[in-house]
Copies of this chain bind each other. A is one copy, B any other.
Amino acid sequence: MAQASLRNVAAEAGLALGSVRHYFENQAELMEFAFRVNSERIHLRALDKLVELEETELPTEPADLLEKCAGVLEELLPLDAASSADAVVHMEFLLDARTNSLLFDAAQDGYRATGAVVGRVVLQLLENPLAVPGLVPVDEAERLMGLLDGLSLRMVLQPAWAPPAQGQSTLRRHLLSLLVS
């Protein structure tokens, strides 16, 4: 991200510096735009799978229900090269958003988006008769979001220690712990 100067962006796009500046008044505007595009791409992947899940009848078999939910949440993990690249960029933007008010608003939208996805999956899961009784949806959503964020972070920062398969199985094991065996 430190290399994402106006000149480098222009060169990478095969444009002149002035051309890029024609579309984006500031570098800040360019950055905010890139942030939003990146965030959207990440969340749309999960959202697409989520509507699939909510449209169809939920399976009664625990293993199938779990697989269905894991399939949605998995989309939030950096499993392949493309989503991994998106995840790295997303992290850098989120850190910048802490001190950049333009990015800050974009980050808030992103938080709401993932919160909605995870929250809806948790509801689907906990409203099911197979769920462990007594679990509080809000609390479990918070725990699950924490786990997902952490797994993403680990998979991005230390892919050697946290390969995709391990992330997937950890996610599934966690979801399994929310269901009665």
Contacts and interface: CB of A to CB of B under 8 A. Distances in A.
Contacts of A2: 2
Nearest to A96: B2
Interface in A136-161: 139, 142-143, 145-154, 156-158, 161
A107 interface: yes
Contacts of A92: 95
A91 interface: yes
Contacts of A174: 143
The interface centre, meaning the residue of A148, A149, A156 with most chain B CB atoms within 10 A of its CB, is A149
Interface residues on A, range: 20 to 34
A27 to B, nearest CB: 13
Contacts of A143: 147, 170, 173-174
A30 interface: no
Contact of A147 (B97, B146, B161): B146
B150 A146 contact: yes
A102 B178 CA distance: 42
A101 interface: no
A166 B146 CA distance: 11
Nearest to A148: B150
B145 A149 contact: no
A179 to B, nearest CB: 13
A111 interface: yes
Nearest to A139: B173
A142 B157 contact: no
Interface of A: 2, 88, 91-92, 94-95, 97-98, 107, 111, 139, 142-143, 145-154, 156-158, 161-162, 166, 169-170, 173-174, 177
